[in-house]
C-alpha cells in the first residue's frame, strides 16, 4: 500500500468554489511539502510544514499539518482556472537528526476548475 | 539565480544506448537530489548528495544507474544500456540543510525506443 495517501485522486470544481485535498500517512511526517505540477512539467513549490498544528497560507491556498503530524490538508478558497493542475504532497518519513529529506510522495490529486 | 536547471529537457534514445542528464542546482544549496517520475505517479527518490558526497544511493534502480557531483556544484545522472522501462521523467531538486527551499527543476523526459 502507498505510504502517503492523497485524496481525492481527482477533483472537478466550478470556478469560485472552495476545495480541500488531503494527505495521510500511518507514520510521523518530518517535513511535509506541497507542490503543484502542470502536465509534463516540473514541480512548483507551494508550502513546507514542519511543526504539529502548523498552518501556512499563500494567496488563496492554505495548508495545515495536524498535531500528530500524520495528516496534512491543502485548502483552496474561491478556486480559479489558474489553480488547475496536479497537487502533490511529499514528506520526509524517516527522522535522522538533521534530516535526509528523501521525500516520499503521494500519487497526486488532479484538479480541474471549470470556468 | 533562476532556480534548478536541467538539461536536456527531452531525450529520445534507442534501447541499449547510454544517456547522461545534467542538473545545475540553486547555487547556495548544498543538497542535491534525483527523482524519477512515471506517468500517474508521484516522484520516486533515487539518490542525493550533500556537497560532493553521495549520502544515499541504495535507492538507485539498478547498477545501470549512477550519479556524480564532482565539485559539489552541478550533478550528472547516467543510465547505461537503457531499457524501455527506463522511459520516465527524471527530476532534480536542491535544498539547504534541513530541507529548506526544496526546489525542483523542470525535469528531463526520457523516451527509450
pLDDT tens per residue across span B56-74? 887 888 899 999 998 889 9
Query: How high is the pLDDT of residue B111?
Result: 98
Q: Which of A9, A104, A32, A91 is nearest to B37 (CA)?
A: A104
Query: How high is the pLDDT of residue B20?
Result: 98
Q: Tell me the C-alpha distance between A92 and A48, whole Å.
A: 11
Buried b / exposed e over A44-56, threshold 16 CB at 10 Å, is: eebbbbbeeebee
Mutate to test the interface with A, among B3, B7, B38, B102 (most CBs of A within 10 A): B102
In the predicted structure, residue A1 carries a pLDDT above the cut 70: no
- Summarised one tens digit per residue, pLDDT across range A40-86 is 889 999 999 988 899 999 999 999 999 888 999 999 999 999 999 99
In the predicted structure, residue A88 carries a pLDDT above the cut 70: yes
B57 interfacial to chain A (CB closer than 8 Å) = no
Query: How high is the pLDDT of residue A27?
Result: 86
A48 interfacial to chain B (CB closer than 8 Å) = yes
Q: Tell me the C-alpha distance between B39 and A86, whole Å.
A: 12
Cβ separation of A41 and B44 shorter than 8 Å?
A: no
Q: Which three cell numbers stand for residue B81?
A: 544500456
**Which chain A residue has its CA at the smallest distance from B40's CA?**
A107
Q: Residue B85 — φ and ψ, nearest 5°?
A: -65, -10
Query: How high is the pLDDT of residue A94?
Result: 72
Query: Higher pLDDT residue, A96 or A4?
Result: A4
- Summarised one tens digit per residue, pLDDT across range B7-22 is 999 999 999 999 999 9
Residue where the block lists cell 544507474 = B65
Helix or strand or coil: residue A6?
Answer: strand
Q: Which residues, at least 6 apart from A2, have a Cβ–Cβ distance to it below 8 Å?
A: A106, A107
In the predicted structure, residue B91 carries a pLDDT above the cut 90: yes
In the predicted structure, residue B2 carries a pLDDT above the cut 80: no
Residues A29, A89: contact at Cβ < 8 Å?
no
**Facing residue for A45 by CB, picked from B35, B102, B107:** B102
Query: How high is the pLDDT of residue A3?
Result: 85
Q: Which three cell numbers stand for residue B22?
A: 545534467
Helix or strand or coil: residue A19?
Answer: strand
Amino acid at each position: 500500500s502507498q505510504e502517503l495517501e492523497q485524496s481525492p485522486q481527482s477533483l472537478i470544481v466550478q470556478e469560485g468554489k472552495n476545495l480541500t485535498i488531503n494527505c495521510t500517512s500511518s507514520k510521523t511526517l518530518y517535513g511535509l511539502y506541497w507542490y503543484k505540477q502542470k502536465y509534463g512539467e516540473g514541480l512548483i513549490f507551494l508550502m513546507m510544514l514542519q511543526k504539529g498544528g502548523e498552518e501556512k497560507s499563500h494567496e488563496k491556498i492554505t495548508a495545515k499539518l495536524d498535531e500528530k503530524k500524520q495528516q496534512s490538508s491543502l485548502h483552496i478558497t474561491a478556486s480559479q482556472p489558474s489553480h488547475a493542475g496536479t497537487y502533490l504532497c511529499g514528506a520526509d518519513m524517516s527522522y535522522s537528526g538533521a534530516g535526509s529529506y528523501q521525500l516520499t510522495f503521494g500519487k497526486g490529486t488532479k484538479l480541474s476548475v471549470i470556468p | 539565480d533562476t532556480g534548478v536547471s536541467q538539461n536536456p529537457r527531452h531525450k529520445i534514445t534507442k534501447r541499449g544506448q547510454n544517456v547522461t542528464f545534467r542538473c545545475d542546482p540553486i547555487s547556495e544549496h548544498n543538497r542535491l537530489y534525483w527523482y524519477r517520475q512515471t506517468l500517474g505517479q508521484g516522484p520516486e527518490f533515487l539518490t542525493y548528495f550533500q556537497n560532493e558526497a553521495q549520502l544515499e544511493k541504495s535507492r538507485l534502480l539498478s547498477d545501470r544507474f549512477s550519479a556524480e557531483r564532482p565539485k559539489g556544484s552541478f550533478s550528472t545522472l547516467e543510465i547505461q544500456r537503457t531499457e524501455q522501462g527506463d522511459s520516465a521523467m527524471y527530476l532534480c531538486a536542491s535544498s539547504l540543510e534541513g530541507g529548506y527551499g526544496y526546489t525542483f527543476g523542470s525535469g528531463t523526459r526520457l523516451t527509450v525506443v
